[in-house]
Amino acid sequence: MKSMEQKILTIQNMAVQVLKKDIKNIHLNVLPPDGRVRVSVPRHVQDETIRLFIIKKLPWIKKHIANFQAQARQSERQYISGESHYFKGQRYIMRVEHASRPNIEIRNKKYIYLFVPAHYDTRQKRNYYENWLRKNLREDLIRLIPKWEKKINVQVNEIKIKKMKTRWGTCNPEEKRIWINLELVKKPEKHLEYIIVHELVHLLEKKHNERFKKLMDDFMPGWQNIREELNKFIL
């Protein structure tokens, strides 16, 4: 198989990443967090054809770029009292208190209490908090993956949790291995389930073609609406 060809085309002052691959159709994406434009095309497609395609899609592209740029950028978390943190689709206010041993508790459906030793710096607090998030996401995956494996009639060999910048999940169909973005523990459970189903269906169909869409329709009717909700969030 030939290696993928890459280039950048400038179209009306907009940089477009072009990937030429062994595919049959053109696929256009506007990617978080800042609306980077990427188009995947069959190898034989000429630059002029790509330009015309992008120009035709400009209203759609600009709409999605504007959506990303309009979203408030969350500042770097300092893990101090008063910060907002999201967990399983709900916003919580963090309260940080000193304790001999680190611990995390949710109280009154409103606060996340982060108990840490007094000497913990921001990095140590972040690492402990992210490990807590990872533990909770792992528990959700242990509960949800078997449910959807049974429905879809597939089985994965390995599930990994990873912080990813541009994807909510990814799959290696040959190894039957899937990766889930740690950020999904902050979203409503239906978003996590959508990504699980999406990646498991890739064990049956590698490409995002009509068969893939039909399988998604069969297993999760209305998945397009959930995908649209999820893609409004920045990563």
Q: What is the DSSP letter of 26?
A: -
Question: Mean pLDDT, to the nearest integer, of 95-122?
Answer: 96
pLDDT tens track for 127-141: 999 999 999 999 999
- Predicted pLDDT of residue 72: 45
Do 58 and 23 lie in one domain? The reply is: yes
pLDDT tens track for 49-63: 999 999 999 999 988
Number of domains present in the structure of the chain: 2
Domain for residue 75, yes or no? no
Domain for residue 79, yes or no? no
Do 162 and 53 lie in one domain? The reply is: no
pLDDT tens track for 187-216: 999 999 999 999 999 999 999 999 999 999
Range of the domain at 152: 84-230
Contacts of 183 (CB under 8 A, 6+ apart): 163, 164, 168, 235
- Predicted pLDDT of residue 74: 56
Instruction: Return the higher-pLDDT residue of 102 and 33.
Output: 102
Angle among Cα 46, 27, 214 to the nearest 5 degrees reads 140
List the CATH number of the domain containing 112.
3.30.2010.10
Domain for residue 136, yes or no? yes
Contacts of 56 (CB under 8 A, 6+ apart): none
